[in-house]
């Protein structure tokens, strides 16, 4: 197995818009500066969840057969996980 070369790296295409990555880095930087590691985790989860759908949304809809129910379930599960995470984080602080 060969190691990657500069030519291999040059062929990588970034699928996520740079402005979204900038917002993510900016938010996490602010949260780190104010020492809110838990908000960094929630921010990372939200962006990862969104970017996963952003990049693979077409494949998801093909597998789901174009079902609005599957899309709604994906979104609801994402919001529930964030809600439960925030609830657990604030319970620890109290």
In whole angstroms, what is the distance from residue 84 CA to residue 80 CA? 6
- Phi-psi label, residue 49: left if phi above 0, alpha if psi -120 to 50, beta otherwise: alpha
Give the CB-side neighbour count of residue 67, counting CA atoms within 13 A.
10
**pLDDT tens series, the chain, 94 aa:** 456 666 666 665 667 888 999 999 999 999 999 998 888 888 898 898 888 888 888 888 888 888 889 888 988 988 898 888 888 878 865 5
Q: How do the domains of the chain map onto residue ranges?
A: 17-93
- The number of helix segments (H) and strand segments (E) in the chain equals 4, 0
pLDDT of amino acid 84: 87
Residue 12's pLDDT is 59
pTM value is 0.68
How far apart are alpha carbons 59 and 41 in whole angstroms?
27
Output the six-digit token pair for 92: 């620890």
């Amino acid at each position: 197995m060969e190691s990657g070369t500069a030519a291999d790296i040059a062929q990588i295409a970034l699928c996520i818009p740079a402005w979204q990555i900038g917002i993510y880095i900016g938010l996490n930087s602010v949260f780190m500066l104010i020492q809110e590691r838990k908000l960094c985790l929630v921010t990372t989860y939200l962006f990862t969840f969104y970017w996963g759908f952003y990049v693979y949304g077409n494949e998801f809809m093909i597998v789901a057969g174009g079902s609005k129910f599957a899309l709604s379930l994906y979104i609801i599960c994402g919001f529930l996980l964030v809600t439960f995470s925030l609830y657990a984080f604030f319970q620890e602080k109290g």
